[in-house]
């Protein structure tokens, strides 16, 4: 399951505004490579919508089936908010509405198309 946590305005190539829904996946515990300690996190992404501000606001807190998946992509620079640091990333996250089975989760298998 993913939760709609908010919405934001974006512009298309024609400079027209539209709303995207901000999605957050379930909590995950990740072990730090440096300290070995665990921390809680959740994957996030956005999806385009045709909804106006009022409808987007009513959707906050709603859940959708599926999960947020990591996808490799061409490297790009990312500015870490609140810092001057710029890092290079080669992945992005996307929303996959297809529910995964327990076996797919355990063995990290992709859902059948």
Q: pLDDT by residue (tens digit) across 38-59? A: 999 999 999 999 999 999 999 9
pTM of the model: 0.78
Per-residue confidence (pLDDT) for residue 99, from 0 to 100 = 76
Of residues 50, 10, 43, the one with CA closest to residue 28:
43
Which of 92, 85, 84, 87 has the alpha carbon at shortest distance from 68?
Answer: 92
Kindly report the backbone phi and psi dihedral angles of residue 15, in degrees, each rounded to the nearest multiple of 5, phi listed first. 65, 20
> With bands split at pLDDT 50, 70 and 90, how would you rate the model's confidence at 80?
confident
Contact 31, 38 (CB under 8 A): yes
Report how far apart, in Å, the C-alpha atoms of 87 and of each of 46, 78, 82 are.
21, 5, 13
Three-class secondary structure of residue 104 per DSSP: helix
């Amino acid at each position: 399951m993913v939760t709609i946590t908010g919405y934001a305005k974006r512009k298309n190539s024609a400079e027209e505004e539209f709303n995207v829904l901000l999605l957050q996946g379930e909590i995950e515990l990740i072990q730090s490579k440096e300290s070995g300690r665990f921390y809680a996190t959740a994957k996030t992404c956005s999806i385009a919508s045709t909804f106006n501000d009022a409808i987007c606001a009513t959707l906050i807190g709603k859940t959708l089936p599926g999960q947020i998946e990591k996808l490799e992509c061409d490297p790009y620079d990312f500015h870490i908010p609140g810092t001057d640091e710029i890092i290079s990333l080669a992945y992005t996250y996307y929303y996959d509405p297809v529910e995964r089975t327990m076996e797919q989760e355990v063995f990290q298998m992709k859902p059948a198309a």
